[in-house]
Structure 1
Amino acid sequence: MSATAAGGAGLRVKAVAKAGSKVVGTATGAAGTELRVPVPNAKLWSPDSPFLYDLQVTLLDGGDKAVDSVGSYFGMRQIGTARGADGSCASPSTAGSCSTWPTSTRASGPTGSTPHRPTTP
């Protein structure tokens, strides 16, 4: 991820990934640089198990004072290719059958919609 801030000299960005209330990964760096948030032993998103992580991204001043913050969510997927019995290249889906990987940059749910965080009343 990368976060750009106007007047970003001296500003830092902190990203925190959570599974429920448990912090599973963090990264901090200068605003405008690429950050990679490690998520060891990630629980993969699939149509059968649509697990989503929470993400909190905070813009920090020269110290540790929060200037701005935004929350979001993300899912982790594993993508790969394998040779089929006939030797052709196929992309295994998360359900175990082979299908063509979508050309969209957004993941889709079982109904073709973008995965969403359910709301509770």
Structure 2
Amino acid sequence: MKKSELKEIIKTAFLAEADELNEKYDDVKEQEDVEVEDNVDVKDTENVDVDVEKDVDVDDVSKESDIEVKSEVPGESEDVAAILGLLTKAQEKAEGMGDEKLLDQIGNTITYYT
């Protein structure tokens, strides 16, 4: 096989692959054009009556909670120590409730502050 024949084979293979890629690109481009052209304006002709005056019972009774936690964290300010103390207390409560997701979130917050 001569060098020129090998070059011709490589050139033919390269051009065939390039044509195939161009066809795929054209197909994808055509699909994108079709998707864009599928947008249709819709007019709402149905009226729905909603009773906004309807009374709904809401449990809006609030209860005040006085939780005091003494905490001391070396090297941290009073505010951070207080926050960490409350978070630790909340973590204990979440553990008592068995709420794993809440435990993870509180743990992540504690990690943020430490």
TM over 0.5: no
Whose helix proportion is higher, 1 or 2? 2
- Structure with the greater alpha carbon radius of gyration: 2
TM interval, shorter chain, is under 0.3
Normalising by structure 2, we get a TM-score of 0.18
Normalising by structure 1, we get a TM-score of 0.18
Whose strand proportion is higher, 1 or 2? 1
